[in-house]
Structure 1
Amino acid sequence: MQLFFHEHTSDDQFTLDSEESKHLIKVLRKTQGDRVKFTNGKGCLFHCVILDSNPKSAKIKIEEREFLPEDDYYIHLAISPTKNSERMEWMVEKLTEIGVHEITFMESKYSERSHLKLERLEKKIIAACKQSLKTRVPKLNPVRPMNELVQDSKFNTYQRFIAYVDKENDRHLFDKVKPDNAYLILIGPEGDFSQQELQLAFGNHFLPCSLGKSRLRSETAGVAAVHTIQLKNNLKEL
């Protein structure tokens, strides 16, 4: 199965832009009458047929609409961006494939970067959704100060975690996660969180957690955290 993306699917027919048309018709060699599947990134799967295989403006008709239910849980990762933008691009791709629901970039005391090209990251996310056959595009937020994030009352109903490296912080995230919840987990920069930031998080009901014995890069820690929460929620079904 191949999955394609088109955000504006309110009508029964739509036209692809030149880039998507070229990919569909020239690269993948699709032609008039071929069946294809699209998503709008909001949980809908559209069973479609190609009406016009113009490589500059392919026309698509929706024959059937299928709505896929949301997960019973919600994973929100807040992470300090690294200096290397390619590592952040790799991370958002992998998070999307594994199954994150929302990503916030977080500015903390030892953050290495405060500006990101969100548009480029969003394209990476959409490409990862298509590759991994996901019909929901994760929400991507701009950089937000850590102190503002941890004190936001909207997260009062979430299970809240802060991952950091400390020999006394040895209880793994897997052991603390309760299935079927909304989660917010904080991942710091390469220099980790400051003591003041840790105390601020603890004072706002964030639980300390470990991601294992190894010292991980920030982007690796982000992927490990999301995978751990996904694993805990999926194991309950076995």
Structure 2
Amino acid sequence: MSLFYQPEVSNGVLFLDEEESRHCIKVLRYKTGDTIQVQDGRGNIFSVRLTSAHQKKCEFEVIDTEFQQPPPYYIHVGIAPTKNLDRIEWFVEKTVEIGVQEISFISCKNSERKVLKLDRLERKALSAMKQSQHRYMPKLNELRSFNELTTKITETDKYIAHVDFDNPVGLARSAKAGGKYCVLIGPEGDFTSEEVEYALQNGFKKVSLGSSRLRTETAGIVACHTLNLINDA
């Protein structure tokens, strides 16, 4: 059965937006009286019956609700957007498929991209959530400065992915299951020594993501996947 998205079902919004309605009616050719599933990105999947099959506003009534608890861990990736927007879109898509709860975009001294619009990235995240059948829509945060983000992180397990001769510890060895994690991933030119020091002063630990030199988006995916593997073991 096809899965559609409406984040405000619990607040009485019983219709699909125009994009979802068009896909439901024009592409998949559902009709009034048909049953579909709608998720809200907050753990709920609703079995609903279509009461008005219109391609601009598809209305429904709720038949049944199934709720899934969030995972017992929290993964937050803070990443500097790449100059090539396709690469950061790919990062968002793949980390949502793997499993991520929050993504923050950070502007660093060596960042090549200083402006970022979330609309397209949020659509990528929504599509990936539906494709992978996850129940929770990740939170995507606007671009903020490195110092601003670093000082406002509330997660208890804080890491900055940065490799040097004084940093032999990998993320897989440092992180423990059931944590509330935040991992910072630097831009193409990496973090500056001042940024690394500022992160350390704010409770972050330096970690390695392996012996290979990774692109920014690859490093973000590796960090996300590593933390998921630790919790799936």
Q: Quick one: distance in 1 between partners of 2:208 and 2:106?
A: 19
> Does residue 100 of the first structure (1) align with residue 117 of the second (2)?
no
Q: Quick one: distance in 2 between partners of 1:212 and 1:46?
A: 42
* Equivalent in the alignment of 2:190: 192
TM-score (norm 1): 0.92
Q: Quick one: distance in 2 between partners of 1:116 and 1:208?
A: 27
Which SS does the other structure have where 2:32 is aligned? Answer: coil
Whichever residue aligns with residue 193 of structure 2, its letter is Q
Asked if the contact 1:12–1:62 (Cα under 8 Å) also holds between the matched residues in 2, the reply is no
Q: Aligned residues: percent identity?
A: 45
Q: What is the aligned length?
A: 233
Asked if the contact 1:162–1:187 (Cα under 8 Å) also holds between the matched residues in 2, the reply is yes
1:198-237 equivalences under 5 Å are 198-235=196-233
* Equivalent in the alignment of 1:42: 42
Deviations 1:62-86 (A, max 9, x none): 1111221011111111011111111
Q: Quick one: distance in 2 between partners of 1:173 and 1:60?
A: 46
Counterparts in 2 of 1:13 and 1:161: CA distance versus 1, 3 Å: closer
- What are structure 1's unaligned runs of at least 5 residues? none
TM-score (norm 2): 0.93
Deviations 1:90-119 (A, max 9, x none): 111111111110111011110111211111
RMSD between aligned residues = 1.7
1:48-197 equivalences under 5 Å are 48-152=48-152, 154-155=153-154, 158-197=156-195
Q: Quick one: distance in 2 between partners of 1:101 and 1:223?
A: 13
Which SS does the other structure have where 2:82 is aligned? Answer: coil
Asked if the contact 2:76–2:182 (Cα under 8 Å) also holds between the matched residues in 1, the reply is yes
- What are structure 2's unaligned runs of at least 5 residues? none
